[in-house]
Structure 1
């Protein structure tokens, strides 16, 4: 048929299904779709050309889900699974007519792969974009995140960008650090860095963003957690990259020690201390203690502020009421640093025996 709505290049044979099983743009239909548009990956040409293209020239993929807001990882590709043989009844004869080469370029040919890439670019599906990024993307992105950062310390967010091709690429995007809530949602923005780089052939670039204590301290929640994200676009190919990682600064641990060996029905002296890892003093510090022989939670208020790099310390007595395994739990809080925990497992020996050991 003629297709004056598509122009002279897309007339001729049209594909359609007279018994469609789902709606397209609000009605039960499938086609007519220009066979040439299907072959050339022009999936936006009406009607239902994207569906027709996928029917005859889809790639079979296996994905691995790596977590929310993470790119899917492509595990397996089969480019020849669909559309191996396309046939119809020959006109005027009781035999098959093979139409495969009218609907698609030869499987595995350069033209067929270029057509697939063009169709993916035109698609609005997230999976199409992930497939492009995994298979056709000429630029790679890798995060390098620091480990074991104590609250109060500065840290760097580092992104390695690598050009795998012999041509230059312009890359635009941003690095961003946000706080994370208790439920894992994104909270306040901490810092953002825009970048626009020109990658030379086979070139590499390192994008580094320093996040200081002053940047994050007043926005940080109880969990001391962040979400670190990168969003980037390769300008000439229009490939998009998006990844997000969880990151947490570590609270210092409360250290608990016992003078001597714990024995049932005998008092022992217990020492607790925690380092101030912040670059500012801790004010209104308080320890909360639970342990054997304490009927109620013990509260110990500090009389002095704790200077940066110094230790908040306290000492108390307790009497294990029986010979058994038990545990001392401690929590420290101040105006500047909260929800610091620590514990010590111990074994209280019977009063008649004095060789028991406290074990952490």
Structure 2
């Protein structure tokens, strides 16, 4: 009789991926998580399996590294071991076997080849069973990325959409984003990112062995999202001509970017800015099984000389000057990833800042982190990695000067402006969650610096939230704390600016002479007309400043504020939204009213990971002021869960993008 042969292998992909929380991945191979058994079924031929005569050994290969695992009769093994086992009732039919394989909770992430060796007295046969992709496991307590609450795992691992926050602390703009981790070929692109990294090319053996540690993985990914040192995913660009690529504001999801990068043999995709770098990194980390969320730091400092002081300079007319290498971005976006820090100790476990935007080098490469959020809060500047840089981004002081006759005179010190608000999408809702306190230890309020105010105070107040398509109305408030009448010169200046750069030229200014009595508060109204505001439409912000000069003493007081214009919104409604189920066509209605003073046109893009197979594009022609556009689209959900449908209208005659989104709960059948 013919000895034992293996006729058929079954990696039980559907059953395994359901139990491993990987069923959404559109992968050609089995996707499982470490520290958790997965099932393999064998159909036997020949004499059938006899434990007295036959020995089965699985061989798992990662590149040329491998581990050999003999199959044993066992209960589920400890989660720190490589193991293969079957249960006693598996031998009821000698022609079929059901086996379970288990990897350690610290096993390297990667794509493994699986072999089965059949040994007996007279034979040694080797069968190629197939391959599987192994990910980190936030559901496993022994894994260093373990996240205890199911609601957190749903949001920070499984959720394939999110919101990115931009603008200013007083007017937060929410931008919908598709992380797209379940879209076709995205998992393969993320695994390729590890394979083409400099660390892997330099020493593949060391790289594979290090991939069990999420700290190591996050540093590799942080460097590979930008292309400064390697075949990274994105090329950054913050100003100038974007015509040979895609303007960063036009991206709506990670899938297009990662797919283009992989399909072009790893040529960097043009172009990214901080939120694009962060959102793509969030996708890669979630694919790899490392919990991740996108975080925005409003008024983020780039302290070039590491003295924790940012210096800003204004002219006597209120124009901001380019006199400093230091800068404050109106917002900066990075990610936090959840992991244990065995290199630092338990106190620094939890959320870690990882920033893929290329700003400064870390150990010779453009990357940042993982910096423990708790270490930042505790000001543990010696803790790895890059804690001092992250600390400065939210804790630097701002010293403001007015420059007159080439002499700078300090008029203000602000200890609260930098890191004014740090937020991320909250669990299960579309609202921002304020996480500033996790970064910044609570301190007593700083005393207001009045050294140069000469009894005057000044502030800026907006009559209403500045909106695109409207005049900008604001009031300058001046208070005379002294005992004498004063004659004041008021100089108001508005400059357009990009969020990451110093302002450009002045586009509007106003000058007045006013008188103010002792202990009087004066309100000076201003209006920037719509035709002057058109340069600010789009992703730009405005640096608005007022200088109040005492004619007699020539002392000056300054107030300034950066602000963004709120955009109109695309409204999305889903009829019968309580009964949305997978594999069935549903409808959504999109509506947008033109609030601009001119007709508009452009292209409406509608996308939704897990809802639409391909992006829908609709051309909008000459929508008149005050008129409403309505469109009905169809979508068919792939799977149950909370999904997001989002729309963006890219205007052709006004440099802006109008957005809207709707979360949809897809029920199980």
Query: Under TM normalisation by the shorter chain, which class is it?
Result: 0.5 to 0.7
CA shift for structure 1 position 233:
1.6
List 4+ stretches of structure 1 deviating above 6 A. Answer: 64-67, 128-132
1:234 paired residue among 547, 550, 553: 550
Gaps of 5+ in 1: 1-63, 71-123, 352-360
Distance 2:596 2:498 in 1: 21
Determine whether 1:263 maps to 2:581.
yes
Determine whether 1:312 maps to 2:668.
no
Contact 2:468 2:537 in 1 (8 A): no
CA shift for structure 1 position 159:
0.6
Determine whether 1:298 maps to 2:298.
no
Larger Cα-atom Rg: 1
Q: State the partner residue of 2:592.
A: 274
- 1:154-186 per-residue CA deviation (whole Å, 9 max, x = no partner) reads 121211222222222221130111212132421
Q: Secondary structure at the match of 1:341?
A: strand
Structure-2-length-normalised TM-score: 0.32
2:533 paired residue among 216, 226, 243: 216
- 1:283-327 per-residue CA deviation (whole Å, 9 max, x = no partner) reads 2x321011234232211112x422212222211111112222211
Contact 2:487 2:516 in 1 (8 A): yes
CA shift for structure 1 position 347:
1.6
Determine whether 1:146 maps to 2:146.
no
Q: State the partner residue of 1:175.
A: 492
CA shift for structure 1 position 265:
0.9
Contact 1:322 1:348 in 2 (8 A): yes
Q: State the partner residue of 1:207.
A: 524
Q: How many residues align?
A: 232
CA RMSD, 1 decimal: 2.8
Q: State the partner residue of 1:93.
A: none
Q: State the partner residue of 1:342.
A: 660
**Cα 1:69–1:249 shift into 2, 3 Å:** farther
Distance 1:227 1:301 in 2: 34
Contact 2:453 2:556 in 1 (8 A): no
CA shift for structure 1 position 128:
7.7
1:161 paired residue among 478, 482, 502: 478
Distance 2:410 2:536 in 1: 34
Contact 2:589 2:632 in 1 (8 A): yes
Contact 2:477 2:523 in 1 (8 A): yes
Distance 1:245 1:236 in 2: 27
Structure-1-length-normalised TM-score: 0.58
Contact 2:453 2:557 in 1 (8 A): no
Q: Secondary structure at the match of 1:187?
A: coil
